[in-house]
Amino acid sequence: MTEQRKDRPGYKYRPRADGSRAHYWVPQRACKKTPKALDPRPITDEAIAQAILEHPDVTTDDQAISKICRTWTDELLADLEGHGKSPEYDGSVASAVMVYKTHPQSPYQALKHPTRIRDYDPSLRLIVDTVGKRLVRNLVGSDFRRWFEQWGSKGRTRRAHGAIRKLRSVLSFGTTERLAGCAQAREILSLMEFATPDPRRIKMEYRHALAICATAIKLKRPSIALTQALQWDTALRRIHIIGEWLPLEVGDVGGIVRGNTKWRGLTVADISAEYVLTVPITAKNKAATEHDLSKCPLVQMVLRRIKLPAFGPLIVSEATGLPYRENYYATDWREVATAAKVPASVWSMDTRAGAISEAEIATDLESARKMAGHTTTKTTQGYVRNGDLDNNRKVAEARAKLRQ
């Protein structure tokens, strides 16, 4: 048996006939709680080469294998988080969070999976990691103010605001379950007000999207290039393009399964022979939307330089050969954006706001609303980040044209 190394959890190899080694990642070796039905995954030469290309600190095959093993293990542990734990309250903040996450009657159970992993879980993890050992019965107002300041340091007001909101939810559920100390702590928190984050006003510009696509192609990251182009030209949410990993449902068979999750998202079959992309109905996409990709210049530029998969998921990570998990896509996108000299203040999520803002300037708010798939223009206005100058310039040009 291959000797276990801490820097490459789950690693195993077997000798080939030519004397070289075939490398594998075995989920059960990475984590003993892994279901036996989960199969080992080969670590291909292509995956090793991609890891070296993507990470400047990785320069050898040995380092690349270690990096891949750690990445896949992190994903596995995220799948198994909370699995098999029972809600037991010992008076600490951490145990109150655990009860909130695992109790069958908790409001947490009613949350959609994407909402959990993108919004709630990061805040709850922050609470546990920083103040989890504190006893709920001893908490006072100054504790909450100090925590808010710590969580919001270095301009991270949005993070602090989210953590306080989740802490309110944890203590509220603890109060309904009569967990010792929760009612008093929740009452104190209800008397306190905290600074709210300013609305985000930064938007991606076309020049940013173009630079990211070009750089991604240069770095042999077609998945990043195509996703960025589709986001910009269609204003689709990133999650609609790369898909998402959702918990397995009873009787769910087939498809792409990893751990206790199954991938659902766009496939190559969703693009017709006429290059019409149909986005199916999802929790956030109430009606199927269609986009003519032949009319999308940035998408066409990318498609002239890359080759689409023959079948299966439309967007696949070059490192794993599987669809992305959203947090890993964001990390890879940031590396490409940095190489493209896109400012750190511009995020991948700002693409949708940039696309909708451009559409509003080019056409009108109602047309931008239809493209974005919003039911009301009020929602669309939340994404429009054009300044007064943009609007007034558009009005002036329209008025001048009227006089002609």
Q: What is the pLDDT of residue 85?
A: 54
pLDDT of residue 286: 53
Q: 380 and 247: one domain?
A: yes
Count of structural domains within the chain: 3
Residue tagged 């066409």 (tokens) = 300
Reported in sequence order, the residue ranges of 266-393 that DSSP labels E, i.e. its strands, are 276-279, 289-292
Task: Indicate whether 69 and 144 sit together in one domain.
Answer: no
Pairing of strands 261-264, 257-258: antiparallel
Helix (H, G, I), strand (E, B) or coil at 15: strand
Q: Which domain holds residue 30?
A: 11-80
> What's 116's DSSP letter?
I
Report how far residue 250's alpha carbon sits from residue 298's, in angstroms, rounded to the nearest whole number: 41
**End position of a domain, from candidates 80, 107, 127:** 80
pLDDT band at 241 (very low <50, low <70, confident <90, very high): very high
Q: How far apart are the first and last CA of the chain?
A: 83
pLDDT class of 285 with cuts at 50, 70, 90: very low
Share of the chain above pLDDT 90, in %: 51
Do the beta carbons of residue 297 and residue 257 sit within 8 Å? Answer: no
186 pLDDT above the threshold of 90: yes
pLDDT single digits (tens) 26-72 = 988 898 888 776 778 889 888 888 888 877 788 898 999 999 998 88
CATH of the domain at 259: 1.10.443.10
Do 313 and 278 share a structural domain? yes
Q: Considering the chain, what percentage of its residues have pLDDT values greater than 70? A: 94
Task: Say whether 178 sits in a helix, a strand or coil.
Answer: coil
Q: How far apart are CA 195 and CA 164, in angstroms?
A: 11
Burial of 91 (0-12, 13-18, 19+ CB in 10 A): middle
Helix (H, G, I), strand (E, B) or coil at 42: strand
Same domain, 165 and 219: no
Q: Pick 271 or 383 by higher pLDDT.
A: 271
Query: In this structure, what are the phi and psi dihedrals at residue 21, rounded to the nearest 5 degrees?
Result: -115, 140
Same domain, 284 and 355: yes
Domain-embedded: residue 195: no
